[in-house]
């Protein structure tokens, strides 16, 4: 999860987030090279007292500074399109989790397992234990198995919400009357925290998301206890 002095992306916990981080680093490298080159050209112009009399209406320079940015954009667009299709793909999910946004809490339905459903409310700060994270802990965590293809169906019961889990590379809008779909594959056990990322009213900041990633056997045991 993010800490108070973390200016980078969260550590990835899914293959999709790994690809997002790779694309972020790739784009940042290109932007850094462009910034260094433009800064060097501007500095050289400031400290150069000579004038090129052939610079005005120079067709060669016009072609160069049109073609080079086009090539740079291709190097950014192709990985971006690949990543876009990877994020949109849902291959034969093993589990379907339905997420419903309310003012101001989340409810979850495991439709594949006898319609297990529950609400997930934030635990108030005065009820937290010393080891709990303030404004992030919930009374019912979402239990999911790792290394399993999971389909997430997201909707809302009242207003617009957004189900966001940064460490898994997921952020999907919850629209009333509409089912949005995404998929995730958690690659390790742990606790992962997210929040509603669409301003949805007065208590928007107090509807966190907590996913507990466990082994498949532990997930089955949890289902039997529900």
Q: How does pLDDT run across 148-158, given as a tens digit for each residue?
A: 899 999 999 98
CATH code: domain of residue 76: 1.10.287.90
Average pLDDT (120-143) is 85
Say if residue 102 is in the same domain as residue 170: yes
Asked whether the beta carbons of 198 and 162 are under 8 A apart, the reply is yes
**Residue 4 belongs to a domain:** no
The residue range of the domain holding 39 is: 15-88
- Among 26, 58, 88, residue at a domain's last position: 88
Q: Please give the model's pTM, rounded to 2 decimal places.
A: 0.80
Say if residue 143 is in the same domain as residue 177: yes
In SS3 terms, 57-73 reads as CCHHHHHHHHHHHHHHH
Identify the helix (H) or strand (E) that includes residue 34.
helix 15-46
Strands 170-174 and 150-156, by their bridges, are: unpaired
**Residue 25 belongs to a domain:** yes
**Residue 2 belongs to a domain:** no
Say if residue 135 is in the same domain as residue 56: no
Say if residue 168 is in the same domain as residue 204: yes
Residue 209, SS3 per DSSP = strand
Say if residue 125 is in the same domain as residue 219: yes
For 19-57, write each residue's pLDDT tens digit.
Answer: 999 999 999 999 999 999 999 988 988 888 777 777 777
Token reading at 90 = 């849902």
């Amino acid at each position: 999860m993010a800490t108070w002095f973390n200016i980078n992306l969260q550590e990835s916990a899914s293959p999709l987030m790994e690809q997002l981080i790779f694309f972020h680093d790739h784009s940042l490298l290109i932007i850094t090279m462009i910034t260094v080159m433009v800064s060097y050209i501007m500095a050289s112009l400031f400290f150069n007292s000579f004038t090129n009399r052939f610079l005005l209406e120079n067709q060669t320079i016009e072609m160069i500074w049109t073609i080079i940015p086009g090539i740079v954009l291709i190097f950014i667009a192709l990985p971006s399109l690949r990543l876009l299709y990877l994020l949109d793909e849902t291959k034969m999910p093993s589990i379907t989790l339905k997420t419903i946004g309310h003012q101001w809490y989340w409810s979850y339905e495991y439709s594949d397992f006898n319609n297990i459903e529950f609400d997930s409310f934030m635990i108030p700060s005065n009820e937290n234990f010393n080891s709990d994270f303030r404004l992030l802990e919930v009374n019912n965590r979402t239990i999911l198995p790792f290394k399993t293809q999971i389909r997430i169906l997201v909707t809302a019961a009242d207003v617009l919400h957004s189900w966001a889990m940064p460490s898994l590379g997921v952020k999907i809008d919850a629209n009333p009357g509409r089912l949005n779909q995404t998929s995730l594959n958690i690659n390790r056990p742990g606790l992962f925290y997210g929040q509603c990322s669409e301003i949805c009213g007065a208590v928007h900041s107090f509807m966190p998301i907590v996913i507990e990633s466990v082994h498949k056997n532990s997930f089955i045991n949890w289902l039997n206890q529900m």
